[in-house]
Amino acid sequence: MASITKLTLCLVFFLLLSFPLTLSSPLHLRSSKNAPRFLADFSRTINNSRPLKYSKYRYETRYFDQILDHFSFSDLPTFRQRYLINTEHWVGSGQLGPIFLYCGNEGDIEWFAVNTGFVWEIAARFGAMIIFPEHRYYGESMPYGSREEAYKNVTTLAHLTAEQALADYAVLITELKRNLSAQACPVVLFGGSYGGMLAAWMRLKYPHIAIGALASSAPVLQFEDIVPPEIFYDIVSNDFRRESVDCFNTIKKSWNVIASEGEKNDGLLRLTRTFRFCKKLETADDLSNWLSSAYSYLAMGNYPYPSDFLMPMPGNPIKEVCRRIDSCPDGTGILQRIFEGVSVYYNYTGTVDCFDLDDDPHGMTSGWDWQACSEMIMPFASSKNTSMFPAYDYNYTSEEELCLENFHVKPRPTWITTEFGGHGFKSVLKTFGSNIIFSNGLLDPWSGGSVLEDISDTIVALVTEKGAHHLDLRPATAQDPDWLVDQRTAEVELIKGWLEEYYEKRKATFDL
């Protein structure tokens, strides 16, 4: 058996990326770097270290010369935006074949493409073209020619924003349609997690470009004080409590045990051994963060069937974590129970001998770190009473300080709601906007920041009690429970309705 090396760490990243809205635990070590983030690191590893397994989806890879700053006329170089395209099912522009556009999020677009089976699976029955454009500053879509140059400093990173990414998609699809004489072909947007936020925002900001959007697990309301900052960790905690109150309590108690153990003589060494780290822990907080991350990812990936791609996890993994924690022989210490439990996440196959906490201690490692320090300012806190995590309050001032220190950027904490809305979302959209599906699973901690009620007849919420992070977008499996099949059926029906309405209106216009 191998120790966890950099290569296996890549595997961890692969897994983490399966829940793109990853969250490094903002426990004690709360730096902007540990604020909610995606894992752009992944985008550097996918091509170098591992071929994609999911070659069952065929696509052509193309590149588009994209403007770096859509909203100003600075004399900046263009960059090559990558996009994946599949036209094999497309019925063509003559029949107004629809175009399914997935709003690429924070990572290599090939990874999102192969993990968004839903879009590929429904394209044939709609006669749809499929396009997966890559988000700027991720994967191969690097301004200034290379990742190194693009991530060099605040000036080069300046244009990594959601608005610019949306404009990229708008310009790309407009140009593509023009080249195909497909201007009249309806575009339907898809996106999961941050990609879901982009899909919803794009439908709202560019209704002339897309007729509707499926925004899966999109926490568009996780800003300012729109939802309570405790909601994320409360949901993670509830995911554990619903499996076992004992399990919840064991975890809740563990933090103090870890902290006090860490303060004892040789305590860190004992913690290192109990949790089988390859190198000695430097602080007890490192362990707490490592555990906290695992719990959050387990909650996001709390799927009803085993997800065995890249990094194996059982179905209902939290049930398994709690089973292991609870079923230790009487007299087993808390720390040993925690280790048994978290191994479901970090070592389900049992092939890992020791774990590595290696991480880049310097900022700027991932694009999401930057985004989380500039415009994606999502407040998080942990409730003393309802969370199983250590309690802490949200402190914007210290977040800002860390962003200034690490990234030399001053966050704009109220910008996203100014630009995209959020406050009074429901009442604003009741008479404005249409054709958005907000799909969520209530086990997903990000559902707390999403839209869980119908806003109007055409802006609807599809909520499953037992779903996790954008489960609906994943490829169909034989083990899919009925409620998941039903959710996807409802989505297909709604999309069908948007398209039918579009064609009818067009026909009516031509008949006039």
56 near a copy of itself (CB under 8 A): no
Q: By CB neighbour count within 10 A (0-12 exposed, 13-18 middle, 19+ buried), where does 329 fall?
A: exposed
Determine the Cα–Cα distance for residues 138 and 110; give it in Å rounded to an integer.
11
For a copy of itself, give the closer residue by CB, 305 or 415: 415
With contacts defined by CB under 8 A, how many residues of the chain interact with a copy of itself?
56
Residue linked to tokens 């099912």 = 89
Read off the tokens for 469: 């992070």
Active site residues: 193, 444, 469
Determine the Cα–Cα distance for residues 192 and 218; give it in Å rounded to an integer.
6
503 near a copy of itself (CB under 8 A): no
The size of the chain, in residues, is: 512
Please, where are the H alpha helices in 136-230? 147-150, 154-157, 162-179, 194-205
413 near a copy of itself (CB under 8 A): no
Determine the Cα–Cα distance for residues 22 and 17; give it in Å rounded to an integer.
7
From the list 80, 89, 408, 466, which residue makes contact with a copy of itself (rule: CB under 8 A)?
408
Compute the least distance from the CB of residue 272 to a copy of itself, in Å: 40
For a copy of itself, give the closer residue by CB, 205 or 252: 205
For a copy of itself, give the closer residue by CB, 28 or 412: 412
How many C-beta atoms surround the C-beta of residue 249 within 10 A? Answer: 15
Interacting stretch for a copy of itself, rule CB under 8 A, among 9-17, 154-162, 336-344, 384-392? 154-162
78 near a copy of itself (CB under 8 A): no
Interacting stretch for a copy of itself, rule CB under 8 A, among 6-14, 50-58, 86-94, 503-511? 503-511
363 near a copy of itself (CB under 8 A): no
Report 443-472 residues binding a copy of itself (CB under 8 A).
458
For a copy of itself, give the closer residue by CB, 207 or 312: 207
Buried residues in 376-413 as b, exposed as e (16+ CB within 10 A): bbbbbbbbeeebbbbebebeeeebbebbeebbebebeb
Q: CA geometry: angle at 165 spanning 160 and 168, to 5°?
A: 125
From the list 119, 409, 455, 468, which residue makes contact with a copy of itself (rule: CB under 8 A)?
409
Compute the least distance from the CB of residue 177 to a copy of itself, in Å: 10
Determine the Cα–Cα distance for residues 269 and 303; give it in Å rounded to an integer.
35
Compute the least distance from the CB of residue 144 to a copy of itself, in Å: 14
Compute the least distance from the CB of residue 496 to a copy of itself, in Å: 16
Determine the Cα–Cα distance for residues 149 and 155; give it in Å rounded to an integer.
10
Interacting stretch for a copy of itself, rule CB under 8 A, among 168-176, 228-236, 378-386, 469-477? 168-176
For a copy of itself, give the closer residue by CB, 195 or 433: 433
Report 187-206 residues binding a copy of itself (CB under 8 A).
204-206
Read off the tokens for 491: 């989505």
Compute the least distance from the CB of residue 425 to a copy of itself, in Å: 7
Asked if 155 and 123 touch (Cβ cutoff 8 Å), the reply is no
167 near a copy of itself (CB under 8 A): yes
226 near a copy of itself (CB under 8 A): no
For a copy of itself, give the closer residue by CB, 194 or 297: 194
For a copy of itself, give the closer residue by CB, 178 or 253: 178
Task: For residue 463, give the H/E element and its range.
Answer: strand 459-464
94 near a copy of itself (CB under 8 A): no
418 near a copy of itself (CB under 8 A): yes
From the list 425, 476, 481, 503, which residue makes contact with a copy of itself (rule: CB under 8 A)?
425
Determine the Cα–Cα distance for residues 212 and 484; give it in Å rounded to an integer.
21
Read off the tokens for 466: 């037992």
Given the DSSP bridges, would you call strands 79-86 and 99-102 parallel, antiparallel or unpaired? unpaired
Is the Cα dihedral 429, 430, 432, 435 positive or negative? positive
157 near a copy of itself (CB under 8 A): yes
Q: Could you tell me which residues are beta bridge partners of residue 129? A: 99
Asked if 303 and 229 touch (Cβ cutoff 8 Å), the reply is no
For a copy of itself, give the closer residue by CB, 157 or 268: 157
Q: How far is CA 70 from CA 73, 258, 376, in A?
A: 7, 50, 19
179 near a copy of itself (CB under 8 A): no
63 near a copy of itself (CB under 8 A): no
509 near a copy of itself (CB under 8 A): yes
374 near a copy of itself (CB under 8 A): yes
Task: For residue 132, give the H/E element and its range.
Answer: strand 129-133
Which residues here bind a copy of itself, judged by CB under 8 A? 67, 69-75, 154-155, 157-159, 161, 163-164, 167, 170-171, 174, 183, 204-209, 374-375, 408-409, 412, 414-415, 417-425, 427-434, 458, 501, 505-506, 509
